[in-house]
Amino acid sequence: MRSDLLFSLGYALLWIGLFAMARKGLSRHVVVGLFHVATVFVALISAFAYQYFKVTGSTLDSGFMLFSLSSPKGLVSVVASETSPGVLALIFVVLGYAFFGPWLITHAVEQGRLSGAHARLVETPWLHLIGVGFGARAARVLATARR
């Protein structure tokens, strides 16, 4: 637990420092791009490590990663045996959202400000949003209870 906390703290401090150094211009766009790529990479490695632990019961260490890079044929067969078309589709959707989602959300918010739709967003009743959140949580609890 402590190593996860220290990694997260160091990772956050690294990006805070990089964003503080790159205030505007091309350097800012480069840092934003690197941030998204690095964050997706860290999330993928964490997900793979969790799945590896779940299947084998041992941790994913650097020795295994170096061995798998030196003999990719064995790794491909292991990955193929553990994935399904649905999982691959989900991975592609998540990666697409990770790379293009922030741009799309920023673009939508900017268009909302320019067109005056921002005033409608402010008038949204908070009670409806809380109800949607509770509904999503209830659906999640029901889905896990059926398993």
What integer best gives the mean pLDDT of the chain?
76
Task: Indicate the angle between helix axes 26-56 and 85-115, nearest 10 degrees.
Answer: 150
Q: Do 59 and 49 contact (CB within 8 A), yes or no?
A: yes
By the 8 A CB rule, do 64 and 57 touch?
no
At residue 22, the 3 state secondary structure works out as coil
How far apart CA 87 and CA 118 sit, in angstroms, is 37
pLDDT band at 13 (very low <50, low <70, confident <90, very high): very high
Give yes or no for residue 131 having a pLDDT over 60: yes
Residue 78 has pLDDT above 80, yes or no: no
Which helix or strand (DSSP H or E) is residue 134 part of? helix 126-146
Query: Does this model's pTM top 0.85?
Result: no
At 51, list the tokens. Answer: 């799945």
Residue 141 has pLDDT above 80, yes or no: no
Structure tokens belonging to residue 8: 């997260």
Q: Residue 103 and residue 121: Cα distance in Å, rounded?
A: 19
